[in-house]
Amino acid sequence: RFALPLEQLPVLGEVLRYQPEQAPPAPQTASVPLKRDQLGIPRPDPQQLQALLLRHAPVWEIDVAAAYDRPGRPVWRSPDGAQLVPAVDTSKALTFYYPSYSWWQSQPVLQLNYLIWFDQRPLEGPFDILGGALDGVLWRVTLGPDQQPLLYDSIHACGCYHLFFPTPALRLRTTALQLPEPPLAAQTAPILHAGQQLVIRLASATHYLERVYAATETNSETTQTYQLLDYAALYQTPSDKSTNGKSASRNLFNAEGLVSGTERAERLLLWPLGVAEPGAMRERGRHAVAFVGRRHFDDADLLDTLFEPAD
């Protein structure tokens, strides 16, 4: 669908935008040089990190046809009063964030990660192997040494559908295109000008990423806001089960880093490929992004392995 003009993308419901509730800071605020530790790793202080997160936070543009298309906060619910099952509270839109690091041209670089959760990917029929409880989309911004975006990429919270959106400063290596499962560079990332934000278009139900484009900030009836929340909050996910009359919480992830209850039928077909529970939602650091060979979302050498400078 990346070949289709934006206005021709299928719409099943109403296209809504979700943008950060806080306005992005002035460019100079988010471009203050970052302190680096003795290993040269960027270590932004809390204020710098918040400024960077707001500066590069995406606008989610979602085709909302039903409640399962509204982003929110994962919760544990007990419909039968016994077993807890994962769900999403959509009363307030949230985007979970965390910083990470990668390696580019012999320098450690900072990455900003943004994750949204949906209640489910609805089953399309009795033979649908991809649908199930919870769905998540993770958007990552890799900043170059100059703190400008170098690469954008995205996966679903299961590790599937890894898409790259390189800036004009990068190009895929020839060796990367010869891999058994070559990386998919869906489109070149747009260059943002003053007053513009990056918009990420998601489809209804599947939540597939359909387009990335630049747009001027707008406030209209179809624009809502989301709150940025630390990823660590997922380790204390609210539960409707109480203990001694007090509200309880529990980790969203089990000991294997998976979200219990989000299993997909595709695991019955893909289990021989060596990825545990393919299709299930999983914790950061647990995302295999290729079924052939070995490639992980957080591989430190992912950029250097797949990309090279364009000039």
What does the pLDDT average to over 174-192? 95
**DSSP-based three-state secondary structure for 236:** helix
**Residue 25 CB burial class (10 angstroms; 0-12, 13-18, ≥19):** middle
Distance of CA 187 to the CA centre of its chain: 17
Q: What is the CA radius of gyration of the chain?
A: 19
* Selected residue with higher pLDDT from 272 and 296: 296
pLDDT of residue 303: 97
Question: pLDDT-derived band of residue 271, with 50, 70 and 90 as boundaries?
Answer: low
What does the pLDDT average to over 45-59? 96
* Selected residue with higher pLDDT from 172 and 80: 172
pLDDT digits (tens, 9 = 90+) for 287-301: 999 877 789 999 999
Residue 1 lies in a domain: no
Question: pLDDT-derived band of residue 82, with 50, 70 and 90 as boundaries?
Answer: confident
> Hunting for tokens 């918040």 — which residue is that?
50
pLDDT of residue 251: 97
What does the pLDDT average to over 50-56? 96
pLDDT of residue 57: 97
What does the pLDDT average to over 38-48? 93
* Whether residue 199 has pLDDT greater than 90: yes
Q: Give the structural domain span for 166.
A: 6-309
Residue 49 lies in a domain: yes
pLDDT of residue 135: 98
Retrieve residue 175's tokens: 């060796």
Q: Kindly state the percentage of the chain with pLDDT values over 70.
A: 95
Nearest-angstrom CA–CA distance, 100 and 189:
20
Nearest-angstrom CA–CA distance, 173 and 298:
19
**DSSP-based three-state secondary structure for 134:** strand
Nearest-angstrom CA–CA distance, 272 and 34:
45
pLDDT of residue 211: 98
Nearest-angstrom CA–CA distance, 237 and 248:
9
Residue 229 lies in a domain: yes
User: What residue type is assigned to position 131 of the chain?
Assistant: G
What does the pLDDT average to over 237-241? 89
Between β-strands 196-202 and 59-64, what pairing exists: parallel, antiparallel or unpaired?
A: parallel
Residue 41 lies in a domain: yes
What does the pLDDT average to over 215-240? 91
**DSSP-based three-state secondary structure for 127:** coil
Question: pLDDT-derived band of residue 242, with 50, 70 and 90 as boundaries?
Answer: low
pLDDT digits (tens, 9 = 90+) for 108-152: 999 999 999 999 999 999 899 999 999 999 999 999 999 999 999
Residue 254 lies in a domain: yes
Nearest-angstrom CA–CA distance, 27 and 137:
27
> Hunting for tokens 């302190």 — which residue is that?
35
pTM confidence score: 0.95
Nearest-angstrom CA–CA distance, 66 and 123:
13
pLDDT of residue 243: 63
* Whether residue 28 has pLDDT greater than 70: no
> In the beta sheet, which residues pair with residue 180?
none
User: What residue type is assigned to position 142 of the chain?
Assistant: T
Nearest-angstrom CA–CA distance, 90 and 134:
12
In 203-302, beta strands by DSSP E: 209-216, 223-230, 237-243, 246-250
pLDDT of residue 31: 65
Residue 286 lies in a domain: yes
Overall number of domains in the chain: 1
* Whether residue 264 has pLDDT greater than 70: yes
Residue 108 lies in a domain: yes
Question: pLDDT-derived band of residue 236, with 50, 70 and 90 as boundaries?
Answer: very high
